[in-house]
Amino acid sequence: MPTESGSCSTARQAKQKRKSHSLSIRRTNSSEQERTGLPREMLEGQDSKLPSSVRSTLLELFGQIEREFENLYIENLELRREIDTLNERLAAEGQVIDGAELSKGQLKTKASHSTSQLSQKLKTTYKASTSKIVSSFKTTTSRAVCQLVKEYIGHRDGIWDVSVARTQPVVLGTASADHTALLWSIETGKCLVKYAGHVGSVNSIKFHPSEQLALTASGDQTAHIWRYAVQLPTPQPVADTSQISGEDEVECSDKDEPDLDGDVSSDCPTIRVPLTSLKSHQGVVIAADWLVGGKQAVTASWDRTANLYDVETSELVHSLTGHDQELTHCCTHPTQRLVVTSSRDTTFRLWDFRDPSIHSVNVFQGHTDTVTSAVFTVGDNVVSGSDDRTVKVWDLKNMRSPIATIRTDSAINRINVCVGQKIIALPHDNRQVRLFDMSGVRLARLPRSSRQGHRRMVCCSAWSEDHPMCNLFTCGFDRQAIGWNINIPALLQEK
């Protein structure tokens, strides 16, 4: 058999070295700075309305793109030389194997086959490298428009739910498996109030639409309504977290979690007795919400029912039955007397209480696994998320099929929709949080690295469109909630 020529072997080794170099994670070093220093100085000398930090980021990004394409160009030249070398070898091999001179057509066939294979290899290499460039560009862009602002640390177990008050003063609420709910100052991250009236995991928290009341659902088979009074502390200067946004994403273990042994909520005023206790369920109450106006509340339970209560009297008004398995979530419409409940039976149901004399129900089928949550938008849409790794957007006027489907790589937990901009925040089991629009177009992924972001499953998300500092909050089983600043105009402009 013929042996590989020395020149071909050398070319192959050189190509492999360049390939491994081009696919490795690049960090700016002194030699690269020297090589790109002159253009950078020339560009920085020009007048620009861009902030210096944004300008520097763009220069670094485009420098990286230039280096990537330069490496691709060198690889292309090497592959072309290798194609020529292999074509010559094919001609020589054909003469040895056949013992006679091959016809021009046979040589052309073999050469074409080899060229086709190498062309495909070239396309694959090019696609992988350019995909890396595009992915890097999207990640850097996402970090520019999605910035971590504040972390809220104080719970001693995973946080199931997060919510933002709808009245002044605007505070953040978290519900945890440590049997407590905490209220936080959004600006300072300080715990303001601790609610310790439940004897089981607190699974959800929602604020009254017009009063300083909170509604919590618990594993102790009850839902509590309690009143709070807070005084916001003086805000402190916010640390610039954009400096760490360039860290490469890495896998984090439980050992990387922050030290939470110190109970920061121990200094908070503690409420232990509810204003009202809603008791009718025979199983865990997994979620609760206020109906429009705040005079009634709805609860969802593992006993397969949802209950509608009169808040003032604590009396049960309706028991909503029909789901075949445990309920996972409930949500109310912001302006109409509508309720949506989701369940492990792969469906969610729409309950209509606009007519006091009757209440109708519609069943939505389309998921293949547990529906973890379903929420309303301002219009006539419902958005549902599921353990089947999909999110579906539905029109209430046409329930037969969704108008949009988002497919992801991980199970989806309690979703939330930015009402004004109609942006869906998807918290995942795999610790990621992704943002999509209502048509299913991916807008961004919240940055996560060894220094920022969630380290375990992200359980819930909540938008706050009116707060100037943070407009998106997430919480997870790493025992912390995070406040993010999402530059929505820039996000939509990139789309």
**Could you give the CA distance from residue 56 to residue 72 in angstroms, rounded to a whole number?**
25
292 Cβ partners below 8 Å, 6+ apart? 209, 332, 333, 334, 335, 336, 337
Give CA–CA dist 286/289, Å, rounded. Answer: 11
Strand partners, 418: 423
Torsion of CA 302, 171, 199, 218, to 10 degrees: -10
The per-residue pLDDT for 59 is 87
Low-confidence ranges of the chain (pLDDT < 50): 1-5, 7, 15, 17-38, 96-105, 107-108, 110-111, 127-128, 130-140, 239-256
CA distance 247 to 448: 9
CA pseudo-torsion sign 274, 280, 286, 287: negative
Residues 189 and 149: beta-carbon distance below 8 Å: no
Question: Could you tell me if 361 and 343 are in contact, meaning their C-beta atoms sit under 8 angstroms apart?
Answer: no
Q: The whole model's pTM is what?
A: 0.70
Prior bond of 356 cis (ω within 30°): no
Q: Are 353 and 333 in contact (CB under 8 A)?
A: no
CA distance 51 to 242: 13
CA angle in degrees (0–180, nearest 5) for 153-159-163: 90
Rounded distance, CA 467 to CA 457, Å?
26
Per the DSSP assignment, residues forming a β-bridge with 407 are 390
Domains and CATH numbers, the chain: 145-229+264-492 (2.130.10.10)
How far apart CA 146 and CA 142 sit, in angstroms, is: 6
Q: Which two tokens stand for residue 185?
A: 């100052």
CB crowding 213-223: b at 16 or more within 10 Å, else e: bbbbbbbbbbb
Instruction: Assess contact for 216 and 204: CB atoms under 8 A.
Output: yes
CA distance 454 to 432: 8
At 53 the pLDDT is 78
Count CB-CB contacts under 10 A for residue 58. 15
Distances from the Cα of 286 to the Cαs of 72, 226, 299, 477, 492, in angstroms?
A: 53, 18, 8, 16, 34
End-to-end CA distance of the chain: 56
Pick from 229, 181, 186, 230: nearest CA to 205:
181
Residues 232, 167: Cα–Cα separation, whole Å: 13
Helix (H) or strand (E) holding 7: helix 6-23
